[in-house]
Amino acid sequence: MTMIPPPPEPTAENLLEIADALLPGHSLDDARVTAGNLHHVVLLPGTAAVRVSKRPSSAQEMPRRVEVLREISRAGLPFKVPEPLTPVTRFGERTAVAVSWVEGKEQPEGQGDPDQIGKLLRAIREATVTPRLRQLLNAPRAKGWAEALAEHVVPRLPDRWRDECRKGLEAANALEAVPDALVHGDLGAGNVHWSRDGELIGVLDWDQAHLFDPAVDAALMAWHGWDNVRQAVDPETYRRARIYDAPFGVGHLVGVLDGRPLVNVEGFVSSIVAWLEKDT
């Protein structure tokens, strides 16, 4: 549980220099710089997205994650997936890669067509997991995820939340096993792109992909509203999705399910507390 300090934050100019080195000859006039949990991203609309590692752990993991993306892009999914355009390249303490651009945009929170949500969830759940993809992906059932959360996270929660979260975690861990399937691990919000008329175009950011219960992805689609998720999936998947989400939000659960170590427990706990208190 030792926290590894990240390298100094790069400036926008640094990130644009990396993008230019990876994609020489491409105009950076319309480039935009943004950031996720694991990467800084230089967006070159219509051309590419350049992902630059934020921490030593994400730099180390980038080659595996790019191979995962390469395998998923070959799976014949009925929507676009970003494809690697360059090799993973090291820039000092960071690594970077350019991936193909996916058109469309996210839908506003609480909105969505249950038919389209169901189509997306079925496509991911039913995707063929090749032996190579299985080798690359984490399988949380063997990782002791619930035990790690019970030991390192629950005791650090405020007293008023501790028992409720412990019981919710126990309920999630006690769910009867279902066959492992491909799980995206970060659906909703900006990672799912739709057309103007609400048709699914593509799914971005497969960094947290793993093999587990597809009800996790259903819970993540609650970005579009739980009622839309209820209409999009069968009753059993919906039940399991609510159980996975109950302890402290399925997004936090995935932070352990996808195999990443808890390197910043205090920050993780603070994020969970903010989630618990958002409706109080």
- What average pLDDT does the structure give for the chain? 91
Q: Report d(CA 49, CA 46) in Å as an integer.
A: 9
pLDDT score of 263: 73
Check pLDDT > 90 for residue 255.
Answer: no
Burial class (CB in 10 A: 0-12, 13-18, 19+), 101: middle
Radius of gyration of the chain (CA): 19
Mean pLDDT for the stretch of residues 88-108: 95
**pLDDT score of 257:** 78
d(CA 112, CA 194): 10
Confidence class of residue 259 from pLDDT cuts 50, 70 and 90? Answer: low
Summarize the confidence of residues 117-140 as an average pLDDT.
92
> Binning pLDDT at 50, 70 and 90, where does residue 262 land?
confident
Read off the pLDDT band of 217 (50, 70, 90).
Answer: very high
Q: What is the pLDDT of residue 138?
A: 77
CATH of domain 12-100: 3.30.200.20
pLDDT digits (tens, 9 = 90+) for 33-65: 999 888 999 999 999 999 999 989 899 999 999
- Using N-to-C axis directions, what is the helix angle for 265-277 and 250-257, rounded to 10°? 160
β-partners of residue 34 are: 41
Checking if the pLDDT of 4 tops 60, the result is no
Per domain, the residue ranges of the chain are: 12-100, 114-277
- Tens of pLDDT, residues 165-211: 999 999 999 999 999 999 999 998 889 999 998 899 999 999 999 99
Question: pLDDT band at 126, cuts 50/70/90?
Answer: very high
Asked: is 114-277 a CATH 3.90.1200.10 domain? The reply is yes
Res 264: pLDDT: 83
Distance between CA atoms of 236 and 254, rounded to whole angstroms?
20
